[in-house]
Chains A and B, each alone.
Chain A
């Protein structure tokens, strides 16, 4: 069965520090992987996506993610966190048939000055 695991429920980082949010997936075929951000009162916004090709993908707001098939992981990174990055982050996998979509339980990011 398809599933997405985000092991870290909550992470706190200092402004300017680097960030890595973990995501592991379980999917039988080639996964289509996504990271979304959800701020309070806001809809989900796509940060980046991986379908194929280069395993390091660049997204908006300075985020990047690396797909590692051997580890079934798709971790999100940012070299220097800004206070405005405080939000809930969701990893998701889409089926290759295009009609199923699975989210992880999310990681809440707190940024301290």
Chain B
């Protein structure tokens, strides 16, 4: 059984650019959540996708967007990068039942993508 994988491992971008981060969920999982973890902070919930639709969103601006594909892999897109977007971006997959059950099921986290914005 393959765990959650994320690519790339590290990424350097300049302010104003756009970036796409990728996540492959664990086999059998239909829910993917994305988190931003700034240095020395806890992860902050960005959004969650369940069966290809956004299922919940944290306090992040619209320039943070996502996609989930039929195989349940996912992308996080960030437009107009700012210096404060520098962080570790974590993806987590789980087997959800929609809006009322994703928190009941364990989230399995990937190792993250380290994004540096210069």
Contact = CB atoms under 8 A, between A and B. Distances in A.
B59 to A, nearest CB: 10
A106 B108 CA distance: 18
A103 to B, nearest CB: 4
B42 to A, nearest CB: 4
B43 to A, nearest CB: 5
Interface residues of B, number: 32
A100 interface: yes
Contacts of B30: none
Nearest to A31: B103
Interface string A1-19: 0001010000000000000
A101 B33 contact: yes
Contacts of B33: 101
Contacts of A45: 109
Nearest to B45: A101
Given A46-B106, A46-B107, A99 B56 contact: yes
Interface of B: 4, 33, 35, 40-45, 48, 50, 55-56, 58, 90, 92, 96-104, 106-112
